[in-house]
Amino acid sequence: MNKIYTMEEAMDLIRDGDTIWVNAFAACASPVDLNKAITRRFRATGHPKHLTVYSAFSFAEWKEGSEVEGYICEGGVDCVVIGFFGSLYSTVKAIQENRIEGYNLPGGVMSHMIRAAACGQKSLFTKIGLNLFVDPRNAQYRLNERSKRTLVHLAEENGEQGLLYDIPKVDIALLKATSADERGNITFENEAASIDCLAVAQATHRNGGKVIVQVKNIVNSHILPRMVNVPAALVDAVVVVPDQKQLTNVSGFYEYICGKYVPTGSILKACRDEISSRIGETSHRTALHHAIAKRAVHELREGQIVNIGIGIPELIAAEALDRGILEKVHLSVESGHTGGYPLSGMGFGVSIGPDSMMDMARQFDFYEGGGLDICFIGTLQVDAKGNVNGHQAPGKLSGIGGFANISQTTKKVVFCMTFTAGGLEGTFDGESVHITREGRNRKFLETIPTRSFAVENARAINQEVLYVTERCVFGLTEEGLELREIAPGIDLQKDILDQLPFRPKIAEDLKPMQF
């Protein structure tokens, strides 16, 4: 059976009203060419339309007006359900303007949902999201007035309260891989991650849907069975895209992000600098950001398994490398990598020289089972009790991603954030911090508009929780936030207490921050 299709023939498989699942993690394994082809077909014919799009993580190009998102924002899509919106600029705008339905679910939950769909399950029970924005008692996963669907239910299983997530029936799977043989067996040897490729294909095939895969090339030789990520039996169409990019937002091929071991030290730094200069950063890193990372890295202990989140925590990897402790810990990211050096900015989800690369659902199995020793997570807002908003700022939607799955289950959580935002300026000389201009926006509030992290969940599993800023460190207690450390150069009253809308507990042994 011939499974090698032209792009136009593959587009013929997509019908009006279909539910599409896009397998991607930001720059990793994103089938951008298939999505662009849907846009071109829609612009030319007005079809397919009334589509629903699911994806655990974003899959566009980190720019406004990307053709990847064209069909979503120009009338072809009625509804999107996405875990992390990072690169989906136009989709976010369409949601904010109430032009399409938009829903945000935890990325790890969505990863487990598609695997459960492959098993024939209609719903997924989990504690992830309990007491958070996605909890139906809050129902803030609905992102605009247009979004009326109920996707999450309060439930009980074996005497324990949790959430029941509805699982969709997928009609179309969109995958990007490296190679296919003439039968349609699919391999990911040059991809930075495989994400949930097999589960997405299994779930779609089970539902009688179509699995469409874009690849760089067709190999004529026999592929070793252990190398096959998606077997031909599950594949309906293979589209060859010879010039497809290894990563969504950067040209070139890098063997050290798809399996080659890279020694630490100068060789790893050279690899990092090479690809980072091509990928770019999502935001400028200031001296105050580096101060936060330099304090936070002191929480690492030899042998720990660690998750590094997006934002300021990305600097933890650089600190570990510079201090010669990278090989003494095991850094990991949600996309499925453990070990190596996680990239930052638009390269988030990619690791240089990882020890292992697994499907994303397996990584979240480990995370949600409490396997992580410590995690470092970026933060937008914190309230007086210690609850955190990490996924939705005023006028901006990033999405929860893996935030809830990780912070709700890890033994020790270190939130990393500037004390204020919007014009904050200061100096850091490696030992002391001086604030020269305060930010316009407070990040510590009496109450926060939405919750990505709930203190009642933390106390239920005896989590240790720290909040590291450039000027001080708070810890979570039964009473709320406790001020435990203050940076040299910072005035307790002017720079901390006067900037808070509440009075925190102050530790009797208030210590100077060590960088």
Q: Which residues pair with 101 in a beta bridge?
A: 79
Among 237, 136, 238, 219, smallest CA distance to 181 is for 219
Q: What's the CA gap between 98 and 100, in Å, rounded?
A: 6
Indicate the SS3 state at residue 419. coil
Catalytic residue among 299, 334, 438, 470: 334
Q: What's the CA gap between 296 and 314, in Å, rounded?
A: 11
Side-chain half-sphere exposure of 277, counting CA atoms within 13 A: 6
Per the structure block, which two tokens stand in for 195?
A: 């994400």
Among 352, 364, 472, 462, smallest CA distance to 418 is for 472
Residues whose CB is less than 8 angstroms from the CB of residue 131 and which lie 6 or more positions away in sequence, other chains included: 451, 454, 456, 457
Strand pairing of 480-486 and 472-477? antiparallel
> What's the first-to-final CA gap in the chain, in angstroms?
63
Give the number of other Cβ atoms within 10 Å of residue 122's Cβ: 11
Is there a contact between 239 and 34 (Cβ–Cβ < 8 Å)? Answer: yes
Task: Say which amino acid occupies 228.
Answer: V
Task: Say which amino acid occupies 149.
Answer: R
Indicate the SS3 state at residue 389. strand
64 is catalytic: no
Per the structure block, which two tokens stand in for 492?
A: 């307790």
Q: What's the CA gap between 68 and 88, in Å, rounded?
A: 9
Rounded alpha-carbon distances, angstroms, from residue 443 to 87, 421, 422, 439, 482? 24, 7, 10, 9, 16
- Please list the active-site residues: 334
